[in-house]
C-alpha cells in the first residue's frame, strides 16, 4: 500500500537510534512528523529545532488519534506492548520495531526514484533477502529516472492537447522507453526535454532511424565486477557482439530477447577480421538498433577499441565507451595486494608482450626500473623473452612475480614465484592462455645490467616456451 501523507500526521514513539531510522524514512515524505519521547537524540532534536518535526514528551490516550500510522521504537518490550494497545484503541495502524506479531504494517526495502518508488517486502521474514533484491533493482533503475517521470507528469496536459488519442500510447512508449529516456538517464536532460516538446508540437513521436553503439568493458570475468553503467547498456541492447574472453554469465545480464553475435576466435577456427566486425556493428546501428560491443576487461586497454571507434566516427555514428575493470586490477585484488606501494613501487606500467601478426614482439620491458610494477598482458608465450630482458636490465632473479590465471572466475589460479623461476612456474601450471603476470622491481634494488648465463639466446622465444611447456 502507498499512503497519502500530505496534510497527515505520523507518530514515532521513541527518541533513540531505532526511532531515528524510522524518522529518516518519513523525511522522504511531506508528512507531519510527531516525535514522542522524554528526550531525543541529537539527530531527532535537530529536526525539531528546524521545524521538520514536533516533539511531545509524554504519551497519552490521545497521542495516536487521527494519525495515518505510527512507529513504536522505544526498545522496551513492556512499554512497546502498552503503546501498541493505545494505538489499537485509537484505530491507528502501527509498526512495532522488531515485534512482527504486533505489527499492522511493515516497512519494505525501497528503491526510490521519486516519484517512482519500488517497495520490496517479506512480511518481516527475510530482511536480508529483501535488501539483496533492492540492490539488484538499484542496479537496473537509473538514478535519474524519477526526473523523467516528473517531466512526463508536467507535460501530460500538453500531450492531451497536442497529441491525438490514437498516437498517445506510442508517444509515451517513445518518451519512457526510447531515445528521450536514453538521453535523460545519460545526463542529457535538456536534449531529451527539447525532443519531447518538439514531438508534442508535431503531434506525436518521430520516426527514429539512427541507433547507438556502446563499447562496453565486461571486466575480467566475474559478472558482479561490471559497472552499473555496463549492466544498464546490456539491458538496453538490441544486439550484442562479444568474443571468447567474455564470460557466459556476463551475457546473462542482457535482455533475454537481445541478439547475441559471437565475433571471437575459438581454437582451430578463424577470427572475424576487424573490418568485418566494424562493418556489422555499423550496419546494425544504422537500422536504429542499440548495439553493444562487449570486450573483456577495459575496452581502452589492449582491446583494439581504437579501430572500431575510428570506423564508427568516420561513418558519423556516435559511440560511447563504458570502462571496465582491467585484468591487472582484478589480479591484484585476487591476490589481496595493491599494484603500487609507497617505498616499494611508485610507478605502474601496463604493457603487452603480443604484437600484430607479422610484427616483431614489442619491447615491453623498456620502462622497467627500480620502483616499478609491470603488468604484462598476453605474455605467457613471451615469458622467456620477458624474463631474459628483465634480467639483462639488472633486475635480480629473486624479484617477486605474481601470476593470476583467469582472474575473478571460478577457474582462477594464483601463483607466486621469482623472476628466475617464471618459466618453470608457468610450465608446471600448464598455463598457455589468459594470465596476468605482475612483476615488481623494488625501489631499493639498484639496476646492474648483466647477461644471464643460464638463458641462452633463442631464435624464436615464443616457440621455445611453447615447446618448454609441452
Q: Which residues are catalytic?
A: 243, 265
In the chain, what are the helix, strand and coil shares in percent, each to the nearest 5?
A: 40, 20, 40
Q: Estimate to the nearest angstrom the gap between the alpha carbon of 410 and the chain centroid.
A: 20
Sign of CA pseudo-dihedral 66, 67, 70, 72: negative
Q: How far is CA 217 from each of CA 199, 303, 427, rounded to the nearest angstrom? A: 34, 9, 30
Q: Which residues of 341-380 are buried (b: 16+ CB within 10 A; e: fewer)?
A: eeebbeeebbbbbbeeeeeebeebbeebbbbbbbbbbbbb
Q: Give the position of cell 512528523.
A: 33
What residues have CB less than 8 Å from 39, skipping those under 6 apart?
15
In whole angstroms, give the CA distance from residue 149 to residue 156: 11
CB 195 within 8 A of CB 182: no
Closest to 221 (Cα-Cα) out of 82, 412, 9, 453: 412
SS3 sequence of 381-423: HHHHHHHHHHHHHCCCCCCEEEEEECCCCCCCEEEEEEHHHHH
Say what angle helices 145-162 and 165-177 make with each other, to 10 degrees: 160
Other beta carbons within 10 angstroms of residue 124's beta carbon come to 15
Helices (H), 34-162: 42-49, 77-89, 127-140, 145-162
In whole angstroms, give the CA distance from residue 233 to residue 258: 11
Cell, residue 142: 537509473
Could you tell me the end-to-end alpha-carbon distance of the chain, in angstroms, rounded to an integer? 66
SS3 435: strand
Amino acid at each position: 500500500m502507498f499512503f497519502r501523507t500530505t496534510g497527515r500526521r505520523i507518530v514515532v514513539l521513541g527518541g533513540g537510534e531505532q526511532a531515528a531510522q524510522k524518522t529518516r524514512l518519513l523525511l522522504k515524505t511531506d508528512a507531519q512528523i510527531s516525535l514522542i519521547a522524554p528526550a531525543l537524540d541529537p539527530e531527532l532534536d535537530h529536526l525539531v529545532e528546524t521545524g521538520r518535526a514536533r516533539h511531545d514528551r509524554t504519551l497519552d490516550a490521545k497521542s495516536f488519534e487521527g494519525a495515518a500510522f505510527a512507529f513504536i521504537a522505544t526498545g522496551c518490550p513492556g512499554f512497546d506492548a502498552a503503546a501498541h494497545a493505545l494505538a489499537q484503541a485509537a484505530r491507528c495502524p502501527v509498526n512495532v520495531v522488531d515485534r512482527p506479531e504486533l505489527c499492522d504494517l511493515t516497512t519494505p526495502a525501497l528503491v526510490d526514484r521519486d516519484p517512482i518508488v519500488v517497495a520490496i517486502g517479506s512480511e518481516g521474514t527475510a530482511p536480508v533477502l529483501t535488501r539483496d533484491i533492492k540492490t539488484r533493482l538499484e542496479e537496473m533503475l537509473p538514478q535519474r529516472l524519477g526526473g523523467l517521470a516528473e517531466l512526463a507528469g508536467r507535460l501530460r496536459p500538453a500531450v492531451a492537447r497536442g497529441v491525438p488519442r490514437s498516437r498517445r500510447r506510442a508517444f509515451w512508449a517513445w518518451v519512457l522507453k526510447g531515445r528521450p529516456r536514453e538521453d535523460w538517464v545519460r545526463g542529457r536532460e535538456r536534449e531529451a526535454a527539447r525532443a519531447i516538446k518538439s514531438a508534442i508540437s508535431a503531434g506525436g513521436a518521430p520516426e527514429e532511424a539512427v541507433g547507438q553503439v556502446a563499447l562496453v568493458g565486461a571486466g575480467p570475468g566475474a559478472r558482479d565486477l561490471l559497472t552499473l553503467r555496463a549492466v544498464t547498456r546490456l539491458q538496453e541492447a538490441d544486439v550484442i557482439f562479444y568474443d571468447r574472453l567474455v564470460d557466459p554469465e556476463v551475457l546473462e545480464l542482457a535482455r533475454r530477447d537481445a541478439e547475441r553475435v559471437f565475433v571471437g576466435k575459438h581454437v582451430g577456427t578463424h577470427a572475424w577480421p576487424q573490418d568485418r566486425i566494424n562493418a556489422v556493428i555499423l550496419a546494425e546501428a544504422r537500422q536504429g538498433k542499440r548495439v553493444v560491443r562487449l570486450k573483456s576487461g577495459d575496452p581502452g586497454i589492449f582491446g583494439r577499441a581504437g579501430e572500431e571507434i575510428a570506423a564508427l566516427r568516420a561513418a558519423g555514428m556516435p559511440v560511447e565507451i563504458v570502462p571496465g575493470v582491467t585484468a591487472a586490477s582484478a589480479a591484484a585484488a585476487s591476490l589481496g595486494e595493491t599494484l603500487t606501494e609507497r617505498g616499494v613501487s611508485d610507478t605502474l606500467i601496463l604493457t603487452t608482450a603480443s604484437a600484430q601478426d607479422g610484427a616483431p614482439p614489442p619491447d615491453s620491458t623498456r620502462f622497467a626500473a627500480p620502483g616499478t610494477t609491470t603488468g604484462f598482458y598476453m605474455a605467457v608465450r613471451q615469458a622467456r623473452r620477458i624474463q631474459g630482458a628483465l634480467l639483462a636490465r639488472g633486475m635480480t632473479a629473486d624479484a617477486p612475480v605474481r601470476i593470476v590465471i583467469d582472474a575473478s572466475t571460478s577457474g582462477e589460479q594464483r601463483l607466486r614465484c621469482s623472476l628466475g623461476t617464471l618459466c618453470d612456474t608457468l610450465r608446471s601450471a600448464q598455463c598457455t592462455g589468459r594470465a596476468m603476470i605482475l612483476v615488481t622491481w623494488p625501489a631499493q634494488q639498484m639496476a646492474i645490467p648483466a647477461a644471464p648465463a643460464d638463458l641462452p639466446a633463442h631464435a624464436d622465444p615464443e616457440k621455445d616456451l611453447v615447446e618448454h611447456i609441452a
